Structure 1
Amino acid sequence: MLTARLSTASWLVPLRRPERPRARLVCVPNAGGGATTFRGWAGLPADDVELWAVRSPGRETRIGEKPPHRLSMIVDPVIDELSRLAPLPFALFGHSMGALVSFTTARRLRSRGLPGPGRLFVSGWNAPQIRDGMPRLGRLCDEDLMRVLHRLDGIPPEVIGNAELMSLVMPVLRADLNVAESYVHQDEPPLACPISVFGGIGDPTTTAAGLGAWSAQTESAFRLRLLPGGHFFVHTQRRAVLRAIREDLGTCR
């Protein structure tokens, strides 16, 4: 079994592996997040879909490793591990910074001549060519950054109030923010795969126009869904998000 060979240093963590999978869904978390972000998803995708999550260095079982500070330091090893899995049609899902990682992964697969995703799911992030108005949280001092993340429901109050936990979270969070905020968009042809976009109606970090602009990044089908909630609507609206993913995965080939 492949699962037995995966070490704590693996970038891809299997969360669900049916006996006869039809497709594979690879999920990338928000800044500061890990594979456990998607632990509640394991029972919700279609019965014949594998579920994997990305775990970058610096968190969870990789807490002793230095977090990446460039986008390529995430994208390239994810592609390397993905290419070693048994061939299956697959889709990528990314929330917030994870949307940027997923999009860049799809582009990098194309540039390397490797099979690309059958569908790209992005959530809580304006289209990559839209940079004006993006919050620069990495420039904030620790106190102000915590205040903003608390308003976004990005960090539980019990973590904010625990100095020891915060000393572990802050370096990873700042490294991830640096990765996202140093991104420089390069014009390339649109992706061949369809793109499904999710946004929170009350999310102050995105706009309907910014989310809709993802349509320029695909030459195939495009769908935008706006759901109640703020930046982390993917948790409060998890069932609606998973229903939509299940529906769109039906066309993943």
Structure 2
Amino acid sequence: MPPPFPTVALTPLTDRQTARIRLYCVPPSGAGSEFFLPWVTEFSALIDLVAVQLPGRGSRIGEPSITDISWAAAGIAEAIAADLSHRPPADGFYAVFGHSFGALLAFEATHRLRADLRTEPDLLALSAVPPPNRAGLDDHIARNLGSGIAAITEIMGWEEPTDDALTRTVYTPFLADAVALLQHTRQIWPPLRAQLSVFGGNDDPMVDPESLHEWSACTTAGTRVHRYPGGHHYLRTQIPEVVAQLTQDLLAAYRNPAWRPGSV
């Protein structure tokens, strides 16, 4: 039988021959790899950017969306592992970043990289997502989904489309992600060895900023927490600041790795 969903793809955003670090980026709900295009000019030549491209959004808008988080996370892990094997990064160093729903996928994919594929990033960076012991994004979705398009628009931080075709294009992948969240069963994972960088907005209605430090329980390595002005989508107006801080964390992890492959 054919698989229930299309496969996950990767989109290289840069091709930097002098890069020492490869950063895999997972976009938020409803967004494609183009979400990270503004990052390209902000990062130095030391960092190569690769974005996850899920079906149903961006350049893959005509494909059915994945409505199962475990399937999506496994697909992301397999795509990253294949890319690492096909073109190993300099010194073997790589990192994973995700924002909001993409952060949940990044977290789950990192555990699958470790459990199933015997690799793990040196740094995992998570933005606008509550720690596993707290109420998740699914709870916020469940409370607000019945309020209709206006509530979804507020959650996503978008302006409401006026064209019906555009509405379908914009909201269909978001609704698929909402289904994935609502039917997802959280799994208890062992602590990672990767260093963690956690980002969030001071006024995020979906993620208590005071809880972000609790992510430290998810790793045996160090955790850095960074907070910025703004709500759940603070990242859209703080790109230079977030990229500068993420660059610092990446370079710190590169110079002082918490672990190296082969030490499983």
Report matched runs for 1:144-155 at 5 Å: 144-152=147-155, 154-155=157-158
TM-score by length of 1: 0.88
TM-score by length of 2: 0.85
1:74 aligns with 2:77: no
Q: Secondary structure at the match of 2:175?
A: helix
1:125 aligns with 2:135: no
Report matched runs for 1:101-120 at 5 Å: 101-120=105-124
**C-alpha distance in 2 between matches for 1:112 and 1:209:** 33
**C-alpha distance in 1 between matches for 2:179 and 2:167:** 18
Report matched runs for 1:47-196 at 5 Å: 47-85=45-83, 86-88=87-89, 89-131=93-135, 134-137=139-142, 140-141=145-146, 144-152=147-155, 154-157=157-160, 160-196=161-197
Shift of 1:132: 6.4
Shift of 1:149: 3.7
Output the amino acid matched with 2:24.
V
Does the 8 A contact of 2:33 with 2:53 survive in 1? yes
Name the counterpart of 1:215: 216
Shift of 1:78: 1.9
Shift of 1:84: 2.3
Q: Secondary structure at the match of 1:112?
A: helix
Deviations 1:154-209 (A, max 9, x none): 2234xx22211012222211111122233322222210011111110111111123
Q: Which structure 1 segments of 5+ residues have no match?
A: 1-8
How large is the Cα RMSD of the aligned pairs? 1.9
Does the 8 A contact of 1:45 with 1:245 survive in 2? no
Shift of 1:61: 1.7
Name the counterpart of 2:36: 38
**C-alpha distance in 2 between matches for 1:42 and 1:138:** 36
**Residue 27 of structure 1 is aligned with which of 20, 25, 28?**
25
Does the 8 A contact of 1:13 with 1:54 survive in 2? yes
Q: Which structure 2 segments of 5+ residues have no match?
A: 1-6, 258-264
Shift of 1:48: 1.6
Q: Secondary structure at the match of 2:13?
A: strand
**C-alpha distance in 2 between matches for 1:132 and 1:75:** 17
My pick for the range that moved more, 81-90 or 127-136, is 127-136
Name the counterpart of 2:228: 227
Distance of aligned partners of 1:154 and 1:212 in 2 relative to their CA distance in 1, 3 Å threshold: same
Deviations 1:37-77 (A, max 9, x none): 11100111231211011111111221111100101222222
**C-alpha distance in 1 between matches for 2:136 and 2:12:** 36
Aligned residues: 241
Q: Secondary structure at the match of 1:57?
A: coil
Shift of 1:20: 2.5
**C-alpha distance in 1 between matches for 2:218 and 2:110:** 11
| Misfit runs of 4+, over 4 Å | none
Deviations 1:113-152 (A, max 9, x none): 42211101000110123126830258624xx343224334
